[in-house]
Amino acid sequence: MPETYTQPRFAYVRSPDQSAATPVRHSVIVVGAGPVGLAAAMDLALHGIPAVVLDDDDTVSVGSRAICYAKRTLEILDRLGCGQPVCDRGVSWNVGKVFFQDRLVYSFNLLPEEGHRRPAFVNLQQYHFEDILVARARELAVIDLRWRSKVVDVKRHADRVELQIHTPDGGYALACDWLIVADGARSPVRHALGLESKGQVFRDHFLIADVIMKAEFPAERWFWFDPPFHRNQSTLLHRQADNVWRIDFQLGRDADPEEEKKPERVIPRIRAMLGDDRPFELEWVSVYTFQCRRMERFRHGRVIFAGDAAHQVSPFGARGANSGIQDTDNLVWKLALVLAGRAPEQLLDTYDAERVRAADENLLNSTRSTDFITPKTPMDRVFRDATLELAHTHPFARRLVNSGRLSVPATLRTSALNTADAPTARFTGPMIPGAPAADAPLRSGEKDAWLLDGLGGGFDLLLFAPGDNFVAPDAADLAALGRDSIPVRVTIVVPHGRGALRAPAGCRVFEDVAGFAEKRYDGRPGSVYLLRPDQHVCARWRRFDAAAVRRAVRRATCTDSADDVRVAA
Amino acid sequence: MSGLITEPNLGAPDDFYEALIAMHQGLDEARSAKVNAKLILLLANHVGDLGVLREAMRLAREGA
């Protein structure tokens, strides 16, 4: 067991639901109190929707699994109210280095520009990460966390889902309008429903050793191909919190997992890597293989799958937990609108469409990384080594080296919720419809602020100030958007030094102190962006037009045809 | 069309062929394989166009 960490035990508390004569019905039940289930419950809570969270265990992750949390995840957690403690507790990093045999091949910076609140990645042991999420979930009083509550049966009906739950007090039944399934890669709920996650099984074994040591290595991701201390295999080193370092050794196909886990096998491998002089202690050891697979669909009526339960990738690229949290970011605002009767159920099918596509992008990237790291034939190996040798001296080959394409959020290019740019708009840069909004440092009065901090949860209109004054009817039209049934909050960005601009009632004004917002959004005066509650761009124009904004909101919520609106039960 | 040139395009074909064979002189099979791989990667980057490269790969694979 870990030396630097004591596993918490969360008390099982009997719920009044267990004494009810008939199954109590809830709006939303979440299965799984891991990072994905907790993120879903927190997001629902911020929409005022109480969720019951069922977890079969009474603690956080045993041992460290996920360790790298990507910038986008940190931004989502900022919106959920726990990004800062994750950053404070973890180790921030931006730089990766790739070694081949005994030489550095190249290094890369995943965030080579200023003006972002969050780094490319924060490394943190999964148990610390979950601790922080559980603490935040407990602050949000509407979340009903039920430990030692194992879902043993699930029945789908047209108007509800019924669950059988096993607890230390025996069984009870619950019903819900919507079930979010975030119970991990093995997903007992998926099995109970007879649904499959299909894909590719990889045969290579990998050894994880988390070691405690004092080391002066910088907080960077170091990846070795065929190093002298571990010939013909790869090794990955990451720094985590509390002087714990993650070492991940590729073991090959024929390794015996039980043998490889023994300290007398593990310690010599680490000695060979670190040298004989460096004292270290073993914190955690495990041997894993992995699969790259997904469910065909993530929405099955009122049962919606997220995270590893829905899709599973190799660990190279940190695309597991990160994509799971993006799933909930995508899902929860849609579910909240459906539950409020403001959008039809078909909006939930766009969760399926958008996140299946994102999962395919993650699967493709993670499969390609795996193929590079674990060549399957002698010729694969020849090309791999040739690429690495060329990369020493030739920049082009560095782009081919694939030690993991690290998690970046999916750009929802093909989403039906996007409104296409007018051809005359001629926007440049990456903030196309479907893109996750880029951050920028701003100022509000005397206070520093971040753009993303002010966005999300509901629809946002980002307006780059068209001039010194807003004249009616624009000012009145802007203010009126906030009173729509699906309200749009207005944020006005003004150039540096123009912070005194008088904003229309109900609109916020931020100064673009360093010009990053204008640059990142191609925000010449008058430009307008419409952002979804998950901070993805869904429409943009060169000038404000309230009718166009409302059409785009209807499109982004599947409410553009009145016939389609069926108010959910 | 992919744009892959299959009509004669080498200015001095015999010189090229001689240089290609010379590149492998004195190498064992494993080293030759790696040198070939490097040559392919260097040329692929020079060509740049994925459509052309895919067409060349398709032709190379034909009958294999």
Annotate A340-356 with DSSP letters as a single string.
TTSS-THHHHHHHHHHH
Confidence class of residue A195 from pLDDT cuts 50, 70 and 90? very high
- CA distances in angstroms from A136 to A84, A195, A310, A568, listed in the order given: 11, 32, 25, 29
- Which of A385, A389, A396 lies at the smallest CB-CB distance from B45? A396
- Contact across the interface for B37 and A382, Cβ inside 8 Å: yes
pLDDT of residue A24: 98
CA A479 to chain centre: 33
The answer to whether A558 touches A346, Cβ cutoff 8 Å, is yes
Coil, helix or strand at residue A501: coil
Burial A538-558 (b: 16+ CB within 10 A, else e): bbbbbebebebbbebbbbbbb
Query: A516 — alpha (psi -120 to 50), left (phi > 0) or beta?
Result: alpha
A394–B contact, CB cutoff 8 A: yes
Query: Whole-angstrom Cα distance, residue A122 to residue A4?
Result: 19
pLDDT at A299: 98
Minimal C-alpha gap between B44 and chain A (Å)? 10
Residues 2-61 of B with CB under 8 A from A: 30, 33-34, 37-38, 40-42, 45
Q: Is the peptide bond before A473 cis (omega within 30 degrees of 0)?
A: yes
CA A456/CA A462 separation, integer angstroms: 11
What per-residue confidence (pLDDT) applies to A561?
A: 74
**Residue A292: its H or E element:** strand A291-295
Question: Which of B30, B33, B41 has its CB closest to that of A387?
Answer: B41
Instruction: Mutate one of A390, A399, A401 to test the B interface: name it (highest B CB count within 10 A).
Output: A390
Largest CA distance in chain B: 40
Report the residue from A386, A397, A400 with minimal CB separation from B34.
A386
For residue B9, what are the contacts with CB-CB under 8 A and spacing of at least 6?
none
Nearest CA in chain A to B46: A396
CA distance A257 to A241: 27
| Chain A residues lying within 8 Å of B45, measured CB to CB | 396-397
Mean pLDDT of chain A: 94
Considering only the beta carbons, identify the residue of A382, A396, A397 that sits closest to B34. A382
Lowest mean pLDDT among A234-238, A284-288, A291-295, A558-562: A558-562
A388 to chain B nearest CA, in Å?
A: 10
Tens-digit pLDDT profile for residues A304-326? 999 999 999 988 899 999 999 99
Query: Which residue, among A380, A383, A389, A402, would best test binding to B if mutated, counting the most B CBs under 10 Å from its CB?
Result: A383
Minimal-distance CA residue of chain A relative to B31: A382
Q: How far is residue A205's CA from residue A553's CA, in Å, rounded to a whole number?
A: 48
Q: Do A390 and B41 touch (CB under 8 A)?
A: yes
pLDDT for A291 equals 92
Model confidence pLDDT, tens digit, residues A422-471: 999 999 999 999 999 999 999 988 899 999 999 999 999 999 988 766 77
Could you tell me how many helices (H) and strands (E) chain A has, helices first? Answer: 14, 28
Q: Which residues of A235-269 are buried (b: 16+ CB within 10 A; e: fewer)?
A: bbbbbbbebbbbbbbbbeeebeeeebeeeebbeeb
Query: Strands A51-54 and A144-146: what pairing?
Result: parallel
CB proximity list for A93: less than 8 A, separation 6 or greater: A119, A120, A121, A122, A123, A219, A220, A221, A239
B41:A379 CB<8 A: no
Query: A382 to chain B: nearest residue by CA?
Result: B34
Residues of B whose CB is below 8 A from A394: 42
| Residue of higher predicted confidence among A420 and A2 | A420
Are β-strands A121-123 and A91-93 bridged in parallel, bridged antiparallel, or unpaired? antiparallel
Chain centre distance of CA A448: 26
Question: Which of B23, B34, B36, B41 best tests the A interface by mutation, with the highest count of A CBs <10 A?
Answer: B41
Listing DSSP states for A134-168 in one string gives: HHHHHHSTT-EEESS-EEEEEEE-SS-EEEEEEET
Residues of chain B found within 8 Å of residue A397, distances taken between Cβ atoms: 41, 45
Nearest to B33 among A382, A387, A389 (CB): A382
The mean pLDDT value for B21-40 works out to: 98
A557 and A515 Cβ atoms separated by less than 8 Å: no
Say if residues A396 and B45 touch (Cβ distance below 8 Å).
Answer: yes
Nearest-CA distance B31 → chain A (Å) = 9
What are the chain A neighbours of B37 within 8 Å (beta carbons)? 382-383, 385-387
Residue A400 contacts B where some CB pair is shorter than 8 Å = yes
Summarize pLDDT for A467-517 with one digit per residue, the tens.
766 776 788 899 899 999 999 999 999 998 876 677 788 889 999 999 999
A66 Cβ neighbours under 8 A, 6+ residues apart: A35, A126, A129, A318, A320, A321
| Predicted local distance difference test score (pLDDT) of residue A566 | 42
Helix axes A546-556, A474-481, angle to 10 degrees: 20
Sequence-distant (≥ 6) Cβ neighbours of residue A390 within 8 angstroms? A396, A397, B38, B41, B42
Strands (E), A41-137: 51-54, 68-70, 91-93, 95-100, 103-109, 121-123
Judge: A390–B34 Cβ closer than 8 Å, yes or no. no
Size of interface A-B (CB pairs under 8 A): 26
* B13-18 average pLDDT score: 98
Assembly ipTM: 0.97
Sheet holding A68-70, edge to edge: A68-70, A121-123, A91-93
pLDDT tens digits for range A329-385:
999 999 999 999 999 999 999 999 999 999 999 999 999 999 999 999 999 999 999
**Residue of chain B minimizing CA distance to A379:** B33
Provide the pLDDT for residue B2.
66
Tokens representing A129 are: 């990460």
pLDDT at A567: 41
| B14 burial via Cβ count (<10 Å: 0-12, 13-18, 19+) | exposed
- Residues of B within 8 A of A382 (CB-CB) are 30, 33-34, 37
Contact between chains at A386 and B38 (C-beta distance less than 8 A): yes
Angle CA A156–A157–A163, to nearest 5: 45
Closest C-alpha among A38, A77, A93, A118 to residue A306: A38
Residues of A in contact with B40 (CB under 8 A): 383
pLDDT at site A564: 44
**Closest Cα in chain B to A387:** B38
Residue A419 tokens read as: 């409104």
Q: Are A39 and A79 in contact (CB under 8 A)?
A: no
Q: Is A81 helix (H, G, I), strand (E, B) or coil?
A: coil
Chain A residues within an 8 Å CB radius of B34: 382, 385-386, 389
Contacts of B28 in chain A (CB under 8 A): none
3-class secondary structure, A296: coil
* Yes or no, beta carbons of A390 and B38 under 8 Å apart: yes
Residue A481 in tokens = 């958007």
Rounded to whole angstroms, the Cα distance separating A42 from A49 reads: 9
**Is A386 in Cβ contact with B41 (below 8 Å)?**
yes
Check if A380 contacts B (Cβ < 8 Å): no
Phi, psi at A336, each rounded to 5°: -65, -40
- The arithmetic mean of pLDDT across residues B40-55, rounded, is 98
Q: What percent of chain A has pLDDT over 90?
A: 88
Q: Are A327 and A36 in contact (CB under 8 A)?
A: yes
DSSP sequence for A187-228 = -HHHHHTT--EEEEE---EEEEEEEE------S-EEEEES-T
Say whether A386 and B45 touch across the interface (CB within 8 A): no
pLDDT digits (tens, 9 = 90+) for A226-245: 999 999 999 999 999 999 99
**Helices A321-339 & A71-80 angle (0-180, nearest 10):** 40
Q: Which of the residues A232, A377, A380, A396 would you substitute to probe the B interface, choosing the one with the greatest number of B C-beta atoms within 10 Å?
A: A396
> What is the mean predicted confidence (pLDDT) over A22-49?
98
| Statement: residue A191 has pLDDT above 90 | yes
pLDDT bracket for residue A163 (50, 70, 90): very high
Q: Are A151 and A188 in contact (CB under 8 A)?
A: yes
At which residue do the structure tokens 């790259």 appear?
A: A292
CA distance A30 to A191: 16
Confidence at residue A32, expressed as pLDDT on a 0 to 100 scale: 98
**Contact yes or no for B16/B23 (Cβ under 8 A):** no
The whole-number pLDDT of residue B35 equals 98
